[in-house]
Amino acid sequence: MSDVSLEAARRRTFAIISHPDAGKTTLTEKLLLFGGAIQMAGSVKSRKTSRSATSDWMALEKERGISVTSSVMQFPYSDRIVNLLDTPGHADFGEDTYRVLTAVDSALMVIDVAKGVEERTIKLMDVCRLRDTPIMTFINKLDREGRNPIDLLDEVESVLGIQCAPVTWPIGMGQRLKGVVHLVSGEVHLYEPGRNFTRQDSTIFASIDDPKLEERIGAPMLAELRDELELVQGASHPFDLARYLAGQQTPVFFGSAVNNFGVQLLLDFFVEHAPAPRPRATTSREVAPSEPQLTGFVFKIQANMDPQHRDRVAFMRICSGKFSAGMKAFQSRTGKELKLANALTFMASDREIVETAWPGDVIGIHNHGTISIGDSFSEGEVLHFTGIPNFAPELFRRARLRDPLKLKQLQKGLAQLSEEGATQFFRPLMSNDLILGAVGTLQFDVVAYRLKDEYGVDASFEPVQVATARWIRCDDARKLEEFREKNAMNLGIDAAGQLVYLAPTRVNLQLAQERASGVEFLATREHA
């Protein structure tokens, strides 16, 4: 096998999806601990002290170094290399999260044992389903009283529409938590609270028939466990690798992230069974990870930690080939060659200059606005990876400038900030308005703050009569021209120069669609 195939085969690139407070951050920390990647206790934690208070969030974002480094966390585990891609925590950032999920090969779903399937889990699961992303499930907070495990699995199956295959099973819960049984190996791992267990120092019995288990948990509890296991085996499905890889079945683990209990069992199973990078679709052909030439796409852009330098980091997921420091890559959208110097890697939560990277890895490329979300890179072939959409925003505001002389700065700021993907910027054909679209209101505050902080522009955002936006596509040039003339009042251009219909009301949109046969109104714009 070639180096590329070997390196690709040992990559595991994934993201954690969960409802806020289910334990994503805590679990991330424990996983990093196993990978030897944590240097500071609480290094993951520090980013997210407050999700709802706008001002705190901004102060936090100012320490952008932290959020850039924790965007991707790479660590070795057994003979594998794990890439954990962070999904933004704030509910407003659904679109960002979506794009992160296009860059992973699998996901890990965290569920609070007391709360079960929550609203954001459902949404994220819908996103995973679009690409049939394989999902493992961790039911967390077992050290607390929660719901009946069988009911929880029922809920996952009925609400999320995915079959459950329990791999570990809890012995008790809350005060009575004694451990978990591994349903594949038969091993029993005891829970001894108050210690941060690794596999080596937790008590393990080879099976539930070990007489010492009865000594530890007592005969009544053991009898209860036997009954329950019988029930579980009758009612649930055994792990089926093919079904898991097809996104139809989720292996389920129970544990307590904060106590580091049940986490290593999950991680062991994960590195063994979770998929390595798989072939990816482009507009012209499928690209296999084992191909020798470098390809990749940009799924995220983030302002760099030093606002003085105004450069941005583009996160590129490598799809095939080998990346070597200083190599040139071909940017399909512009047809230009770009030197990938000083690319960042995310090993061990430190930013280091990367020498090489392989399929499944993510590298951070410094640039000054020359790279956009969705850009594909190769070694010369024109390739456009598909499936990285821009969603139509749902909220719109007009930018109002306090100092009219700063118009140029404002335009530049809005355009650059929308490259990061959280907001979108539109210019109507018939007016000088600058309209910003977002999926959550918080983003307008964030943009106003950053315009001032990074561009020296004092702007506010006021309501504007736009209800929704649709990207216009029409292959017939004459029809398009006619449409443009008739609808000029409601048309605009987005930051990428694409024609967009800015509908003042939903009813207006519907009428416009009915009247314009042969013209497509798209709710997402594929980056290409």
Q: Which residues are annotated as a binding site for GTP?
A: 18-25, 86-90, 140-143
24 contacts ligand GDP (rule: CB under 6 A) = yes
107 contacts ligand GDP (rule: CB under 6 A) = no
Q: What is the closest distance, in whole angstroms, from the C-beta atom of residue 199 to ligand GDP in the complex?
A: 17
Residues in the chain: 528
Q: Which two tokens stand for residue 225?
A: 């466990």
Of 10, 20, 480, 508, the one binding ligand GDP (CB under 6 A) is 20
Beta carbon nearer to ligand GDP, 14 or 358:
14
Asked if residues 93 and 57 have their Cβ atoms less than 8 Å apart, the reply is: no
β-bridge mates for residue 314, sequence order = 301, 365
Beta carbon nearer to ligand GDP, 172 or 307:
172
Where are any strands of DSSP class E within 86-200? 106-112, 135-140, 163-166, 168-171, 179-182, 188-190
Of 12, 13, 18, 361, the one binding ligand GDP (CB under 6 A) is 18
Beta carbon nearer to ligand GDP, 20 or 387:
20
Beta carbon nearer to ligand GDP, 87 or 376:
87
d(CA 413, CA 432): 16
β-bridge mates for residue 84, sequence order = 14, 73
β-bridge mates for residue 366, sequence order = 313
Q: What is the closest distance, in whole angstroms, from the C-beta atom of residue 256 to ligand GDP in the complex?
A: 3
d(CA 36, CA 297): 29
Q: Which of residues 374-393 bind ligand GDP (CB under 6 A)?
A: none
Binding mask 138-157 for ligand GDP (x = CB under 6 A): --xx-xx-------------
Q: Which two tokens stand for residue 396?
A: 């719109």
Provide the residue type at 525 as one letter.
Answer: R
**Within 110-218, where are the H helices?**
119-130, 149-160, 211-217
Q: Which of residues 241-260 bind ligand GDP (CB under 6 A)?
A: 256-259
Residue 275 CB partners (closer than 8 Å, separation 6+):
12, 105, 106, 134, 245
Q: What is the closest distance, in whole angstroms, from the C-beta atom of residue 139 to ligand GDP in the complex?
A: 10
Of 13, 25, 102, 295, the one binding ligand GDP (CB under 6 A) is 25
Asked if residues 123 and 295 have their Cβ atoms less than 8 Å apart, the reply is: no
Q: Which two tokens stand for residue 332?
A: 């399909």
23 contacts ligand GDP (rule: CB under 6 A) = yes
137 contacts ligand GDP (rule: CB under 6 A) = no
Beta carbon nearer to ligand GDP, 22 or 371:
22
Of 12, 14, 17, 26, the one binding ligand GDP (CB under 6 A) is 26
How many Cβ atoms are within 10 Å of 317's Cβ, its own excluded? 28
Beta carbon nearer to ligand GDP, 118 or 240:
118
β-bridge mates for residue 468, sequence order = 503
Q: What is the closest distance, in whole angstroms, from the C-beta atom of residue 127 to ligand GDP in the complex?
A: 17
Beta carbon nearer to ligand GDP, 88 or 393:
88
468 contacts ligand GDP (rule: CB under 6 A) = no
Q: How many residues lie near ligand GDP (CB under 6 A)?
A: 16
Beta carbon nearer to ligand GDP, 20 or 307:
20
414-424 core/surface letters (b: 16 or more CB in 10 A; e: else)? bbbbbbbbbbb
Q: What is the closest distance, in whole angstroms, from the C-beta atom of residue 91 to ligand GDP in the complex?
A: 11
Three-state DSSP class for residue 501:
strand
Q: Interacting stretch for ligand GDP, rule CB under 6 A, among 20-28, 200-208, 318-326, 482-490? A: 20-28
SS3 annotation, 59-76: HHHHCHHHHHHCCEEEEE
Q: What is the closest distance, in whole angstroms, from the C-beta atom of residue 484 to ligand GDP in the complex?
A: 47
- Interface residues toward ligand GDP, by CB under 6 A: 18, 20-26, 140-141, 143-144, 256-259
